[in-house]
Structure 1
């Protein structure tokens, strides 16, 4: 393809970040004509059993805190300094909680290669100045690079265990970025499709987490599979309506990709958002307390997105147009009776 070898850096090292670093570490070796062999990973430094987490990853090749029991390739190198991890990178892979995106990107100004491209694996939206923003657009704005996005039915532990799954990459540049990123992520067990609708892809990735909260509330109330299926169906309709109403160029077909209905089903069946919401019902604890107990220091993402989406819909005076998204917010943050969420299915 006539391009220089690409240096890849992964920004983030939770369970999903570690699973992706493992996959990328395999792929850069497989495609050694396209990629440099070393994959640098930024790790937020922590002590685990008296040792630094970076030291454990680099010596034992395992992220014992966030992806225990999974061996990482020896070409995956953990660094605690984010600027060093990203220095001269040609591809930056962002896999971190969305509350850390701005601070991290600001610290990376001028660090990456001038021809750098980025890809966001962040499943969330940002609410600022009464508007909803895509993280790929914000990464592009701060760093001055093109940023694609990846999203799909991808539970991190299953990807790390090489159980077959699919995912979707959305990019503005299908001919160049699409081909390079397909090589970087596609494997026999992780099947990648590439589409141009990077906006719709990110709407799906963010809002499916809110719908999964509804599924978890349903499970916590012991409503059964029929009811949970109704929440999934209603959720898919609201996801599509949200994308079509507030963002230009969103395609209906995107909601039938892995990033759409497949990711929604997987998250509502087995993701952390469903798990947290189920535990929240009847617990007499705040959602933050439940997350802290269950997620080993990580966030569920769906709760934060529910809050931000509600603020946006309130600013637009359109909460009644999205009854399920609104009901999730009210149950989680206003302590509305959990049973009231069933009303969202009557619209």
Structure 2
């Protein structure tokens, strides 16, 4: 049995804490809110995020980060993208060299256009950054909490660290694969939230399966196009953090990005949507970052551009769809040939 600190007591952090507890690990679930940590300890619940889940007695709530990470063998960071740097600044003086560091966040930082592991490396240093493990894949917290079969991927520049993380989480309901393409895993996990917003908008407008299938397929092309430019392996996007993540996030009402998009498609304004959601919608922030990045490195991403104009310039959703449908003629095989070329290289 290992001691593991999970930093972030939202729905995903709590669900992953439950997986670790099922594997008989001693889990310390850290929250920045003392009352939430107290609820976890007193009632073994986290009603705001997973109201139907009874937490294992192997999970203890903490609001003191120093106490949470003391003497643990692994630290799992599951906080929103905007909180990553602050958490890592605190961690820098608390961690030891032998602790495994894993993150399960999904996003790209606006302005810097950095992935989560790059943000963490900025704050923790290169030596620690080269050992970071990312955990990603098609996995709704609600289903993981119910112990429904789920498969995810872990990736790191250090294969030994990835395999250690795999051993921590793997069980008969939570299958974990390794993948050496850390860049691709992070890109796929972040950008699927953009496409999920679009899928929700399509459903909110009352469009059918044809429109959503087109959106998901062409969205995958955009992800692979950007990933290829950033030296990711395009084959990664045919796996769990590409196609898999897109399917689960674009087709389920569990997805907060899909739900936010659905409300936008029905005519709600962004500020009202975010207020009603009550949780972070990573796709909004990621859309801004990826739009900026695509222009910086000259990657054509029309779906991302349309969503950026909708979110940040109040463009009408139907106008965005018309804009996409009336683009100039292109050849689908040119995109596929580009992906295959990058794979051969």
* Partner residue in 2 for 1:33: none
Once the two structures are superposed, residues 171-216 of structure 1 have per-residue CA deviations (whole angstroms, 9 ceiling, x without a partner) of 2222x21221111111211111101001100000000000011111
2:138 alignment partner in structure 1? 153
Give the TM-score normalised by structure 2.
Answer: 0.88
Per-residue Cα deviation, 1:213-251 (whole angstroms, up to 9, x for no partner): 111111111110110000000100000001111x22x11
Structure 1: distance between partners of 2:248 and 2:87: 29
Alpha carbons 1:90, 1:113 under 8 Å: kept: no
Inter-partner Cα distance in structure 2 for 1:69 and 1:211: 29
CA distance in 2, matches of 1:194, 1:253: 14
- Structure 1: stretches of 5+ with no match in the other structure: 30-36, 47-51
What is the CA–CA distance in structure 2 between the aligned matches of 1:114 and 1:64, rounded to whole Å? 35
Counterparts of residues 286-297 of structure 1 (less than 5 Å): 287-293=270-276, 295=277, 297=278
Contact 1:87–1:113, Cα closer than 8 Å, also in 2:
no
Where do 1:206-285 residues align within 5 Å? 206-245=190-229, 247-248=230-231, 250-270=232-252, 271-285=255-269
Q: Is the 2:100–2:165 Cα contact (8 Å) retained in structure 1?
A: no
Runs of 4+ with >4 A deviation = none
User: Contact 2:109 / 2:285 at 8 angstroms: preserved in 1?
Assistant: no
TM-score by length of 1: 0.88
Aligned residue runs from structure 1 range 1-347, under 5 A: 6-27=2-23, 29=24, 37-45=25-33, 52-128=35-111, 131-144=112-125, 145=128, 146-174=131-159, 176-245=160-229, 247-248=230-231, 250-270=232-252, 271-285=255-269, 287-293=270-276, 295=277, 297-316=278-297, 318=298, 321-342=300-321, 343-345=323-325, 346=327
Quote the offset at 1:89 in angstroms.
Answer: 3.1
**1: distance between equivalents of 2:87 and 2:272?**
26
1:284, 1:291 → 2: CA distance? 10
Query: Aligned-pair distance for 1:284?
Result: 4.3
Considering fraction of residues, name the structure with more strand: 1
Residues 131-180 of structure 1: CA deviation (Å, up to 9, x unaligned): 42121122234224221101111010001001112111112222x21221
d(CA) in 1 for partners of 2:171, 2:7: 21
Say whether the 8 Å CA contact 2:8–2:29 is kept in structure 1. Answer: yes
| C-alpha contact (below 8 Å) 1:62/1:68 kept by paired residues | yes
